[in-house]
Amino acid sequence: MPKAFLSHSSDDKQIVRKIKENIGRIWTYFDEEARHIFLEGLSRDMINRARGWALWKALITYDDVNDDFGENARYTIDCILKEAHID
Task: Tell me what pLDDT residue 18 has.
Answer: 74
pTM: 0.74
Nearest residue to 39 via CA among 51, 57, 54: 51
Handedness of CA 82, 35, 75, 24 (dihedral sign): positive
What is the average per-residue pLDDT within 62-82? 93
φ/ψ of 84, rounded to 5, equals -85, 0
Task: Tell me what pLDDT residue 5 has.
Answer: 40
87 Cβ partners below 8 Å, 6+ apart? 81
- For residues 58-77, one letter each, b for 16 or more C-beta atoms within 10 angstroms of the residue's C-beta and e for the rest, the string is beebeeeeeeebeebbeebb
Q: Write out pLDDT tens, residues 34-71.
A: 999 989 998 998 888 889 999 999 999 999 999 999 99
